Structure 1
């Protein structure tokens, strides 16, 4: 099974969906280069979106990210990479100065110690280098809330109680009830900084699918050597935002099924095939 044509077709369709999401967000997220830098302000004002628009973009962005991850896994099938040799840890020089200082004894610093302290101070004063944005290779694991924090929870399902529904303990005549926070409105401003970074990350991943496939192949090589905690990049069960149970091009499209749902279902089948049937030729 050669899925190169299917991977490319789904990649182009995902790029079109991401471009439409950027257009929905408007100038708040800015172009990809600006979103990759991640500025928190646009012309001196916070980067915000109305809550209803922010949620609408997330409803499409989550399955698009899951589909992009699966296309990366499918593109990495049969890819073999060589890992660099592990770095040797530098031996730390043994010094009795910290022990003597803890005992209240004065210690004269050597020129080498003074140079190391000055270099450490310069590194601490330098501005932190911004991390490059990259699409996560792993599905986020499901969060299981603790039963004591779930309202009316009997099993594993439940929702955390909203702030306006929590009980309040009052002393009549001694304390006045404080006003409860109002429920969220669909027009409340929500920060769009993280949303812009996520859009930039998925756009960069779709523009460089071979590079992302090599990145996944390096992780898989480290996993085979027992150097990682995560065993599978996919979480058990349905992927994030999935609505189609499986990809069937001959079946009629059910109601409430979007294009991104079909892409995710197809990409999920490609990723499962790549993980279960690695190309060892």
Structure 2
């Protein structure tokens, strides 16, 4: 896979930014970070993840991936033993069932003992259009009237959060590690996205066929594949996650607030949009 100079330039800038973020995260004790430092890292990590995701999409342009033919999943029969036990009916397990249950327990214990690994998501998180944002009222602004009984003890209001409060940084460390692995293996991540794109296009084609079959009346009932919702693009509409307006954007009113990561994200977004709209079929 040949990478363009634009991808290499943004990749090197993201590597420098990641080294800075890792240095900021190492200022803590390894488990927690001060609140102000945790927020400062998140403000740069979100657009960095979005930019890396777009570089992966741009690097996957022109990749040809062949996947095995689709095989529908067979529905697994649900065991009746849990239902009987919930009704208070005693169930005797056979030797095979007992051995199967013990093997499942050992497999679960082995999975729990593995170190937790997080992979960089190839898809932008979508916004819920039906979400109603509730107005947040800090705890320090609640009414001081606790009771109409004057003999009730007075309860002081909780102190406002301090910038130096310790915040758990385990999830943040996993995200930094995932971003580092994605940038170190950009060709492998591009292959991963190409496989997702082929599976996604095949699923969309099967969904259209199922809808056409339902519309023509070839199937008696409504097919689940015909009513399942799938996202159209790996990128969400609007501004990328965590990004600000670029200084080259005509709507930018405060160019002084534009950071370096915003420029990287703007360039990476343009590369990803071009790769999705103009795929290389040569």
**TM-score between both structures, scaled by the size of structure 1:** 0.75
The CA distance in 2 between the partners of 1:143 and 1:166, in whole Å, is 29
Q: Secondary structure of the residue that 1:255 maps to in structure 2?
A: helix
The answer to whether structure 1 residue 6 and structure 2 residue 9 are counterparts is no
Q: Which stretch of structure 1 is more off in the superposition, 17-26 or 98-107?
A: 98-107
In terms of fraction of residues, the more helix-rich structure is 2
1:78-157 equivalences under 5 Å are 78-86=62-70, 89=73, 108-126=92-110, 128=112, 129-142=114-127, 147=132, 150-151=134-135
> For residue 213 of structure 2, what is the aligned residue in structure 1?
none
For structure 2, the residue ranges without an aligned partner over 5 or more in a row are 205-228
The CA distance in 1 between the partners of 2:55 and 2:238, in whole Å, is 18
The answer to whether structure 1 residue 217 and structure 2 residue 194 are counterparts is yes
Q: Secondary structure of the residue that 2:232 maps to in structure 1?
A: coil
Aligned residues: 251
Q: Which stretch of structure 1 is more off in the superposition, 57-66 or 82-91?
A: 82-91
Q: Once the two structures are superposed, what CA deviation does each residue of 1:166-221 show, in whole Å capped at 9, x if it has no partner?
A: 45774311644533322221211222212211111111111111111111111111
Q: CA deviation at 1:10?
A: 0.7
The CA distance in 2 between the partners of 1:123 and 1:79, in whole Å, is 36
1:1-281 equivalences under 5 Å are 4-26=4-26, 28=28, 42=30, 47-86=31-70, 89=73, 108-126=92-110, 128=112, 129-142=114-127, 147=132, 150-151=134-135, 160-166=136-142, 170-173=146-149, 175-176=152-153, 178-226=155-203, 229-245=230-246, 254-281=255-282
The CA distance in 1 between the partners of 2:71 and 2:80, in whole Å, is 27
Q: Which stretch of structure 1 is more off in the superposition, 118-127 or 236-245?
A: 118-127
Change (3 A) 1:161 1:104: closer
Indicate conservation of the 8 Å contact 1:100/1:106, yes or no: yes
> For residue 34 of structure 1, what is the aligned residue in structure 2?
none
The CA distance in 2 between the partners of 1:53 and 1:180, in whole Å, is 26
**TM-score between both structures, scaled by the size of structure 2:** 0.75
> For residue 32 of structure 1, what is the aligned residue in structure 2?
none
Indicate conservation of the 8 Å contact 2:60/2:190, yes or no: yes
Indicate conservation of the 8 Å contact 1:48/1:191, yes or no: yes
Change (3 A) 1:63 1:96: closer
Q: Secondary structure of the residue that 1:190 maps to in structure 2?
A: strand
Q: Once the two structures are superposed, what CA deviation does each residue of 1:100-142 show, in whole Å capped at 9, x if it has no partner?
A: 7677666554332232233233334445134432111122223
> For residue 33 of structure 1, what is the aligned residue in structure 2?
none
> For residue 212 of structure 2, what is the aligned residue in structure 1?
none
Change (3 A) 1:193 1:107: closer
The CA distance in 2 between the partners of 1:94 and 1:53, in whole Å, is 49
